[in-house]
Amino acid sequence: MPGKDSQLAQRQKIVEAAIDLYVDDRANFTTANLAKKTRIKKVEILRLFPSRGAILKYFYPLCVMRYKAMAAEIEGYTDWPVEEKLANFAYAMFDLLQEQREFVEEHFVDEIFRASGTSAFQREAEVLFAEILAGTCASEHLAAFFAKEYMHVIRFWIADDSIDSERTTALVDKIAAFVGQAMRSNELFYTGGDLLKYLIANNVVKVPFGKSFITRAMGWMR
């Protein structure tokens, strides 16, 4: 039986080939063509993934797994403050998603963002946020909340037509700064107000992240 790393590499190979077929011509996106393209037997592909849709959706949690591997190689990463880890994750994920930008633009909103239930992508992000927030107040609640709201950030990035995604960069910077201040309980409302005004002005989410976060955080800390 292949090791964990080799199996992950095989999954990544299948996912990347599947996306190529999907973007080029969806009619040709079949398990048979995928087997030909990857030189992996159909039975092995079906052992790893229950359906073609599952292959495509695996791209997103795979990006989180790739980020974890990257972060593990960064010297001193464990000593970084929470806000620096959050910002690093967001920017690295944009780079990873950018590798398949055309696919993400076509697929994410309908298949991940609007999907019923919690996606594997959101669950994987929640695990990562829990690791980043470990030891902080109400870390489990925050991790689940951040993972859910992170889906809105991805959607915002997809729709961002500013030069070099400047609006998304500003959004991430403000969220990271706000969370960092909130974790230390200093200047919480000042920083939160700045974030809230930005979210409302740019119509990021229907229920602004800053307002929702403050309300929930106060409840968790009681």
**Other Cβ atoms closer than 10 A to 106:** 16
pLDDT tens, 96-107? 999 999 999 999
Average pLDDT, the chain: 86
Token digits for 183? Answer: 């974790």
At 208, the pLDDT band (50, 70, 90 cuts) reads very low
Give Cα separations from 163 to 34, 71, 90, 103, 201 (angstroms): 36, 27, 18, 21, 18
Of all residues in the chain, the percent with pLDDT exceeding 90 is 68
Fold of the domain spanning 1-57: Arc Repressor Mutant, subunit A (1.10.10)
**Other Cβ atoms closer than 10 A to 142:** 24
- For CATH 1.10.10, the residue range(s) in the chain are 1-57
Q: Is the pTM of this model over 0.85?
A: no
| pLDDT of 211 higher than 90 | no
Of all residues in the chain, the percent with pLDDT exceeding 70 is 81
| pLDDT of 210 higher than 80 | no
pLDDT of residue 3: 60
